[in-house]
């Protein structure tokens, strides 16, 4: 039985803004003059066709890629001025979920939690219980299904004390129960004052008061 989890509230209000962001990959302009602003307790869904730049935008926001031009601001400051403050506040979940096959879920989460700047908010056992995979805690990850591995990757995000979550298709491979759990932990993060930018082909429901959408247009060949 999954635990009911209410995340402790963040003590600070935040703003997150991108201005005139442009991304070019090879000879293709994925997007240009992209702007949005978010505050605490909000979620933004990135929409668009395959190849429109949703994953590229998340990777830029996570610091894994550089934009062609434009700025990213956290609490009114360009993240290049104080990258440590910004990246300590970010938790990114991409298509590659960074689990070692020969380690158990418990071992993976313990190791990944030790890399976080801030101490995790909950224990490994609690996070696995919340995601309803506690019975798999000691099994090597190579024995698990794709959906079970995705739940464990989400348990890593859940443990994080980061205020900004960047989630690329977090519902992928999840069954209906898993999607319901995903919605609960995302809503708990929003209610605590967190900020989420995500992509999803599955409909996720947090209530309109929290939710924005940003539609990316088709890529342009240069």
Q: Are 8 and 163 in contact (CB under 8 A)?
A: no
Q: Look at residue 109 in the predicted model and tell me its pLDDT.
A: 95
Q: What is the rounded average pLDDT of the residues 19-42?
A: 92
Q: For the segment 34-76, what is each residue's pLDDT rounded down to a tens digit?
A: 999 999 999 999 998 888 899 999 999 999 999 999 999 999 9
Write down the pTM of the prediction.
Answer: 0.94
Collapsing DSSP states into helix, strand and coil, what is residue 154? helix
CATH number of 12-89+195-222: 3.40.50.300
Q: For the segment 89-145, what is each residue's pLDDT rounded down to a tens digit?
A: 999 999 899 899 999 999 999 999 888 877 888 899 999 999 999 999 999 999 999
Q: Are 153 and 167 in contact (CB under 8 A)?
A: no
């Amino acid at each position: 039985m999954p635990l009911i989890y209410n995340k402790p509230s963040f003590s600070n209000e935040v703003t997150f803004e991108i201005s005139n962001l442009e991304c070019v990959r090879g000879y293709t302009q994925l997007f240009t003059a992209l702007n949005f602003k978010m505050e605490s307790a909000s979620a933004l869904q990135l929409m668009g066709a395959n190849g429109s730049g949703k994953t590229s935008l998340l990777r830029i926001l996570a610091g894994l890629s550089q934009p062609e031009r434009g700025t990213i601001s956290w609490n009114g400051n360009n993240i290049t001025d104080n990258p440590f403050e910004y990246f300590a506040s970010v938790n990114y979940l991409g298509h590659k979920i960074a689990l070692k096959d020969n380690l158990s879920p418990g071992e993976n989460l313990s190791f990944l939690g030790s890399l976080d700047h801030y101490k995790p908010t909950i224990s490994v056992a609690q996070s696995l219980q919340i995601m309803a995979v506690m019975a798999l805690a000691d099994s090597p990850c190579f024995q698990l299904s794709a959906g079970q591995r995705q739940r464990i990757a989400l348990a890593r995000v859940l443990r994080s004390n980061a205020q900004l979550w960047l989630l690329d298709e977090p519902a992928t491979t999840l069954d209906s129960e898993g999607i319901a759990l995903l919605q609960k932990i995302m809503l708990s993060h929003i209610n605590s004052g967190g900020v989420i930018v995500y992509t999803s082909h599955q409909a996720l429901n947090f209530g309109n008061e929290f939710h924005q959408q940003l539609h990316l247009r088709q890529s342009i060949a240069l």
